[in-house]
Chains A and B, each alone.
Chain A
Amino acid sequence: MDVISTSGLTKYYGKARGVEDLTMAVPQGAVYGFLGPNGAGKTTTIRCLLGMLKPTAGSSSVLGERVTLDGAALRRRIGYVAGEVRLYEKETGRWHLDYVAGFRGTKGPLTAESLERFDLDPSRRVKELSKGNKQKLALILGMVHDSELLILDEPTSGLDPLNQEAVYSVIEERVAAGRTVFLSSHVLSEVERVCDKVGIIRSGRLVAEEGVKSLLGKRLREVEVTFADPVAASLLGELPGVDSVVAVSDQSLAARARRRDRRRAQADRKTEGQRYPHPARKPGGRVPGVLPR
């Protein structure tokens, strides 16, 4: 079953484009990365999925239920961490935890564990917290109730590397327990780290949706190769995976290439920094491989 599915989801703010004709599917038990630059429409999509925004056209369903503006019962099954943390500044973290517990009818089973894991003092007022601590509080509020679906909008924003790892660990634990995670981010390394499937959004449109491995395989890398002797740019141009080649100098060529499989890349890395003689002088006349910059 698809936990999230959209069909032609479109949202305009007056004449300004939010998202346009978005059709995607998030399978159960997956970590779906929603990747895109700033202003691409990631947050708009999430707000439509949560029933905070009324779509201009199209529809969406979450956990088997059609999304409406009044879906209180549906939101009981969702944990949400907003991209911009906006909480009640004069209230404490503890107050917020009790507030959320009141709505959900129960104290979050993972509250104590989460507070310890993220090392957050809940007695402090929100206005006294740093950006990172506010983000931690928002994460805890979104994750303590062990929801079927976690929707995380740039969850590691403002966090130090240790806490980022804590977030990734939580995601991995939840998925291992059968939950689904929808992760919005503009950081490719984050998506690479935890996601199974990626949807790339740009200018409000979904431009690609595929597995992470497949996507990474299409990623272009820039490499510069220096030879012992002057070479022609056409030397690298015919290699598989090379998109373009530019002569940097008589002996150096800069190429844009697609990433090869990991084992081959590791083998190539061993020869990084070495200078190769002109291929005409090497037995077989083959260039041994591109070296990452």
Chain B
Amino acid sequence: MSWTLLRGTLHQNRVSIFWFSFGLVLYSWMMTWFYPEIGGNQYAELVETMPAELMAIFGGTEVSFASLGGYFQTEYLGLMWMVIVASALIIYSAKAFAGEIAEGTMEFVLSQPVSRARLAITRIAVMVGYSLALAAGSLVPIMVFGSKYDIDLPLDTFWTLFAFGLLFMLAVGGFALMLSVIFRGAGKPGAISAGVLVVLWIADLVSNFSEAAELFDPINIVSYWQPSKIINGDPVDAAAWWLYGGVALVSAVAAVVVFRRRDAA
């Protein structure tokens, strides 16, 4: 890894890293603050009056809305959180290789004494750091402010949620990075990454009502994202850890291998 490149890449992305992370801190704090106002049975009664299909969109079909996990998944960690973190990481990843090649700045960087492998690993390292910042922004406020708002999240639950959320982000970001090293221009890797996520989300949605859509379930990273179960104390399916970790690792390795061999100007 190149420290110069690491500092440089973090510097260039400082604005988006800050605002996405800070935005999640605010959102997380707001949801924590809001829980006592509407959480519990009142909330469950309100939500259960809504159509099941609508609740499925926000990821709320597998747990009771009266639970803490149900509240957070429906209001925060379900659809909205996935959209926010996926947007942040796809934008970064698409620009990290494909965007810079199209803009010509990759030629400037590669004219310096830095190997392609180091460059690729450093960009991956920044993506990991970015994901850590997003995970911290998403969940630390719940721990910090939770006690003030009658939310008791055990520490082991927090760490499980943190690790699982981090792996989810690494899988999404890694996939986008892998596409980024293939294309020239940030548009295609960004669109394809987002498109794949949308397809998986739709498949997850439809699978609530149709068995045919369950075909995607074994590989559907959106389906496996069930923070409500973790918050409510249920264990995470081992297959989910393997899927997220596998996608993240394979994508990262593929990105390095492909970037070392492609034309970069």
Partner of A88, one of B4, B105, B117, B263: B105
* B152: Cβ under 8 A from any A Cβ: no
With A69-B116, A70-B117, A86-B103 in contact, do A53 and B263 touch (Cβ < 8 Å)? Answer: yes
* B12: Cβ under 8 A from any A Cβ: yes
* A218: Cβ under 8 A from any B Cβ: no
Which chain A positions have C-beta within 8 A of B114? Answer: 72, 75, 103
Closest B residue by C-beta to A103? B112
Which chain B positions have C-beta within 8 A of A88? Answer: 12, 105
CB distance from A148 to the nearest CB of B (A): 13
With A52-B264, A70-B117, A90-B12 in contact, do A100 and B112 touch (Cβ < 8 Å)? Answer: yes
Which chain B positions have C-beta within 8 A of A104? Answer: 112-113
Which chain B positions have C-beta within 8 A of A182? Answer: none
Which chain B positions have C-beta within 8 A of A76? Answer: 113
* A181: Cβ under 8 A from any B Cβ: no
Taken together as a complex, chains A and B put the C-alpha atoms of A86 and B108 apart, in Å, by 7
* B188: Cβ under 8 A from any A Cβ: no
B1-56 contacts to A (CB < 8 Å): 2-5, 7-8, 11-12
Partner of A84, one of B3, B104, B113: B104
Taken together as a complex, chains A and B put the C-alpha atoms of A73 and B264 apart, in Å, by 18
CB distance from A6 to the nearest CB of B (A): 17
Is A86 within 8 A of B113, CB to CB? Answer: no
The number of residue pairs between A and B whose CB atoms lie closer than 8 Å in the complex comes to 72
Which chain A positions have C-beta within 8 A of B12? Answer: 88, 90-91
Taken together as a complex, chains A and B put the C-alpha atoms of A206 and B41 apart, in Å, by 81
With A52-B265, A70-B117 in contact, do A102 and B107 touch (Cβ < 8 Å)? Answer: no
Closest B residue by C-beta to A71? B115
CB distance from B109 to the nearest CB of A (A): 8
A40-77 contacts to B (CB < 8 Å): 47, 50-54, 69-70, 72-73, 75-76
CB distance from A140 to the nearest CB of B (A): 13
* A87: Cβ under 8 A from any B Cβ: yes
Closest A residue by C-beta to B119? A72
Partner of A69, one of B2, B11, B105, B260: B260
Which chain A positions have C-beta within 8 A of B113? Answer: 72-73, 75-76, 103-104
Partner of A102, one of B8, B104, B110, B265: B8
Which chain B positions have C-beta within 8 A of A78? Answer: 111
Please report the total number of B residues contacting A with Cβ < 8 Å.
28
Taken together as a complex, chains A and B put the C-alpha atoms of A90 and B265 apart, in Å, by 21
CB distance from A272 to the nearest CB of B (A): 48
Identify 14 new A-B residue pairs, CB closer than 8 A, beyond the known A52-B107, A75-B114, A100-B112.
A47-B107, A50-B111, A53-B263, A54-B261, A54-B263, A69-B116, A70-B117, A72-B115, A75-B113, A80-B111, A82-B104, A82-B111, A86-B108, A87-B108
CB distance from B25 to the nearest CB of A (A): 25
Which chain A positions have C-beta within 8 A of B265? Answer: 47, 52-53
Closest B residue by C-beta to A105? B113
Is B8 within 8 A of A99, CB to CB? Answer: yes
CB distance from A70 to the nearest CB of B (A): 5
Taken together as a complex, chains A and B put the C-alpha atoms of A126 and B252 apart, in Å, by 32
Partner of A70, one of B105, B108, B116: B116
* B229: Cβ under 8 A from any A Cβ: no
Closest B residue by C-beta to A87? B108
Is A102 within 8 A of B263, CB to CB? Answer: no
Is B107 within 8 A of A82, CB to CB? Answer: yes
Q: Which 8 A-B pairs have the closest CB atoms?
A: A86-B104, A102-B4, A76-B113, A103-B112, A52-B265, A72-B115, A80-B111, A75-B113
Closest A residue by C-beta to B116? A70
Taken together as a complex, chains A and B put the C-alpha atoms of A51 and B108 apart, in Å, by 12
Which chain A positions have C-beta within 8 A of B8? Answer: 99, 102
Taken together as a complex, chains A and B put the C-alpha atoms of A102 and B105 apart, in Å, by 17
Which chain B positions have C-beta within 8 A of A91? Answer: 11-12
